[in-house]
Amino acid sequence: MPSDSARTAPAVNDATPHILVVDDDDGIRTLLARYLRENGFLASTAENAAAADKVMEGLIFDALVVDVMMPGENGLDMTRRLRRRSNIPILVLTARGQPEDRIEGLEAGADDYLPKPFEPRELVLRLERLLQRREHTTRDEALSFGANVFHPRRGELKRNGETVKLTGAELSLLRTLSAKPGAPFDRATLAEETGSGFDRSIDVQVTRLRRKIEDDPRTPIYLQTVRGVGYMLVVD
């Protein structure tokens, strides 16, 4: 019998999104993989972070669905580790659904957070939205702000000539703000545009993005707070 990491649906075409489901619960893995395949995705599974690492050595994925509570390396630690080298969209699954748990997931680098129990259809819709945000194209020209150069269409940010790794949520936030440089966006609008779910999560993403683009994140120059409104991007 093939291992979890080898259970891969045959390719429909090169554009079909390939999702890796990482969960130690065999029933959930099987259910989600089947449902994803029935809804137009390719799907592979892994029972833990170590197995996921092995399958990712030989396959390229468009998004990951990662359970938090796993033996060995848990889902949040796995997400933090992956974020040091990849901006692949990551949706975290957890039995804990409090706002502080969601914030912890976002701080770890997750792009979305889905508490259990959930309807499989909701997972599909959230994945579709993550992938749409990743492929979203905006203005063509590069924007410069300080030592940063951002290409919205390519989703590429460079600082002092070096490529900066962005999570999917950070990229979506930066693209939204760069669509209208110098214009303030309220938190509700940013949450809607980036699919972050609620206003407080935007503050988390802004804090993380400032660490990557500001000389001193505590006194931001480029990603500024607009008191009583939200945030805006200031470019050269």
78-82, 124-128, 149-153, 193-197: segment of lowest average pLDDT: 193-197
- Judge if 157 and 219 occupy the same domain: yes
Rounded percentage of the chain residues whose pLDDT exceeds 90: 46
State residue 105's pLDDT score.
Answer: 83
- Judge if 166 and 108 occupy the same domain: no
State residue 182's pLDDT score.
Answer: 85
Query: What does the mean pLDDT of the chain come to?
Result: 84
Average pLDDT over residues 6-27: 73
- AA letter at 230: G
- Judge if 108 and 168 occupy the same domain: no
Please state whether beta strands 112-115 and 143-145 pair in parallel, antiparallel, or not at all (unpaired). unpaired
- Judge if 108 and 149 occupy the same domain: no
- Judge if 24 and 131 occupy the same domain: yes
Domain housing 107: 4-135
Rounded percentage of the chain residues whose pLDDT exceeds 70: 88
d(CA 166, CA 90): 12
Give the domain CATH number at 36: 3.40.50.2300
**What total number of domains does the chain contain?**
2
Average pLDDT over residues 50-65: 90
Q: Is it the case that residue 137 has pLDDT exceeding 70? A: no
Map 152-207 to HEC letters.
CCCCEEEECCEECCCCHHHHHHHHHHHCCCCCCEEHHHHHHHHCCCCHHHHHHHHH
- Judge if 217 and 150 occupy the same domain: yes
- Judge if 10 and 121 occupy the same domain: yes
State residue 49's pLDDT score.
Answer: 96
Q: Is it the case that residue 223 has pLDDT exceeding 50? A: yes
State residue 75's pLDDT score.
Answer: 93
Q: How confident is the model at residue 34 (pLDDT cuts 50, 70, 90)?
A: very high
- Judge if 113 and 13 occupy the same domain: yes
HSE-up of residue 22 (Cα within 13 Å, Cβ side): 30
6-20, 62-76, 197-211, 213-227: segment of lowest average pLDDT: 6-20
d(CA 46, CA 54): 9
State residue 48's pLDDT score.
Answer: 96
